[in-house]
Amino acid sequence: MKNSILYLTIALAAVSAVSCKSQFTKLLASYDENLKYQKAFEYFDAEKYAKAAQLFESVSISSGGTAREDTVLYYWGLSNYKSNDFVTAETNFSNFVTMFPSSPFVDEAAFYRIDCMYKATLRYELDQKPTHAALEAINEYLVSGRESAYREECEKMITDLNGRLDRKAYESAKLYYKMEDYLAARTALKNVLKDNSDNIYREDILYYTCMSSYKFSKMSISEKQKDRYMEFVDDYLNFIGEFPESIYRKEIDAMYHKSLKELGRYSGTEDDLEKKEKDFERERKILLRNQEAAAEKKK
């Protein structure tokens, strides 16, 4: 008996779904543009945005040149936006801004357009062309002279997207370090800051520049080590000049004293150098634990 009731319930639900689909299909194929326009708003208000988008698209041709044209195009875009079809929505809003610059909806449409572009951007590891396109569009929006309620949100987008580009540049250069190509790593890292001195990973970039020059010095032939240790010393002084309280300070201090020893300039004893190395190893373990904990929190 229970199974019979269950089967009946499923069957009724299936019939109801087919019936609803059939009704919507008939509506979509109808030539009654006023009914479709009305039903499009009903679906929109009921948060059935995908169906609303189909109906607004269906009436968009017949509404061309009429008083409702801008409303249809705007809500067609908004329906696509709310159903997460950001590619189509961006096209809708772009067309709207071009066609109706004096519409009361234009500021919202302009913002939704750039928000679609922002949402279409990719993680820093992937292609950043969409990021550059979104940044350009956001900046154009902000300098358009339009008084916008969305300025603060736009500035947050810019911060996020610039941070993504900074990370891309930093990680790409750091890849040479991971590959143990220390000469290429030092050059690439320096070029990152040459291209953008305000990179938010500046401290890490300068740290890996030091690490690269030090390791390159160690692996060099003896005839070239002196000059290369001197390059490390320059990188070290640049680093501590900017970040004297850095979490990396003890580590590169230890490398600095080793470099001075290799250059014949270290005035301390072997015991002093050994103590500095032990202090660094202790600090390094704490640093790694803190970095691992921070990475876990981000997951």
**What's residue 72's pLDDT?**
95
**What would the mean pLDDT of 154-181 be, rounded to a whole number?**
96
The region of weakest confidence among 39-48, 110-119, 226-235, 287-296 is 287-296
**What's residue 264's pLDDT?**
82
pLDDT at 275 over 50: yes
The answer to whether the CB of 210 falls within 8 A of the CB of 252 is yes
Higher pLDDT among residues 273 and 135, named by residue = 135
**What's residue 52's pLDDT?**
94
Mean pLDDT of the chain: 86
Higher pLDDT among residues 117 and 283, named by residue = 117
**What's residue 162's pLDDT?**
97
Q: How far apart are CA 123 and CA 131, in angstroms?
A: 9
**With bands split at pLDDT 50, 70 and 90, how would you rate the model's confidence at 16?**
very low
Task: For the beta carbon of residue 261, count every other beta carbon within 10 angstroms.
Answer: 15
**What's residue 55's pLDDT?**
94
The region of weakest confidence among 50-64, 153-167, 264-278 is 264-278
Name all domains of the chain by residue range, CATH numbers in brackets.
30-164 (1.25.40.10), 172-298 (1.25.40.10)
Single-letter amino acid code for the residue at 231? E
- Interacting residues of 30 by C-beta distance below 8 A, sequence separation 6+: 36
pLDDT at 150 over 60: yes
pTM: 0.77
Task: For the beta carbon of residue 271, count every other beta carbon within 10 angstroms.
Answer: 8
Which among 145, 152, 146, 81 is positioned nearest to 117, based on CA atoms?
Answer: 81
**What's residue 215's pLDDT?**
95
**What's residue 293's pLDDT?**
72
**What's residue 64's pLDDT?**
86
